[in-house]
Amino acid sequence: MTSQFHGATLTGKGLEWGGSILRPEATGFGALYFVHHMMDTHGLDIKGKTVALSGFGNVAWGAAKKATELGAKVITISGPDGYIYDPAGLDAKKIEYLLELRASGNDICQPYADEFDGATFFEGKKPWEQKADIYLPCATQNELNGTDADMILANKPLCVAEVSNMGCTAEAVDKFIAAGQLFAPGKAVNAGGVATSGLEMTQNSMRMSWTAEEVDQRLHQIMAGIHEQCVKYGKQPNGYINYVKGANVAGFMKVAKAMLAQGVV
């Protein structure tokens, strides 16, 4: 305890005392930038695609917001009580309603169905049973298991990406890779949150605050770089990109090169 304030050592601060704009949305925003690059690399366009995601907190809110901005249609959200299927897709009003759900402290998503016509609540179930082009677990660890993976694979999706930390069980990950499914792990996909914390520290060190556009641009650039490294180390001889391997090797190489440069090994 030094009775001194070192603002740059903490992130996620309020905007009034050194926080960064877009930090709450950053994990979801970054994830969608990563997914966008995944699909683009495979000749696919995210615009017009349907997205099934889980959760309704900060991460799901940010993901839904950016997915909609990129032209996709988010058709599910979920909570501990079950999930919502909204075939019309989430618009700006519905996305902002997610903030009300979270702020209520009730930790349930069922009220969404009462609020918006055409939405259906499925009690005690997961959104993975709905057919979609893109599946994004955004809620919690191990929320998507082997049985869920089988269900998703049967729907022949274009892309599956972990947005929550270790959102898929090891069994689910193995099934996606064995099937040649376009899949990416959370250690790469959800790096946008930590990256924006780094951007917050940079702004603190420079004694300035960037605009939302500046932060978003830098976040997009960072996620593009992460995707590039995953492709570099994850591309297999048959052309399949194993993003799990790519992310693991890229992370190892960054640490190893730093250790060699500093003479640690």
DSSP string, 56-95: -SHHHHHHHHHHHHTT-EEEEEEETTEEEE-TT---HHHH
Residue type, 173: V
pLDDT at 3 over 70: no
pLDDT at 100 over 60: yes
Q: Give me the phi and psi of 235, to 5 degrees please.
A: -75, 125
At residue 4 the predicted structure's pLDDT band, cuts being 50, 70 and 90, is low
Give me the pLDDT at residue 8, please: 58
Q: And the tokens for 75?
A: 């058709």
Tokens 């009580």 label which residue? 81
Mean pLDDT of the chain: 94
Angstrom distance (rounded) from CA 99 to CA 92? 12
> Percent of the chain at pLDDT above 70?
97
Q: What does R_g of the chain's alpha carbons equal in angstroms?
A: 19
Q: What share of the chain is helix, strand, coil (3-state, %, to 5)?
A: 50, 10, 40
Give me the pLDDT at residue 172, please: 98
Q: Tell me: the pLDDT tens digits for 154-199?
A: 999 999 999 999 999 999 999 999 999 999 999 999 999 999 999 9
Among 169, 139, 141, 176, which residue's Cα sits nearest to residue 155? Answer: 176
Contact yes or no for 116/32 (Cβ under 8 A): no
At residue 15 the predicted structure's pLDDT band, cuts being 50, 70 and 90, is confident
Angstrom distance (rounded) from CA 75 to CA 199? 32
**Buried b / exposed e along 104-127 (16+ C-beta atoms within 10 A):** eeeeebbbbbeebeebebbeeebb
Q: Tell me: the pLDDT tens digits for 211-259?
A: 999 999 999 999 999 999 999 999 999 999 999 999 999 999 999 999 9
pLDDT at 11 over 90: no
Give me the pLDDT at residue 22, please: 84
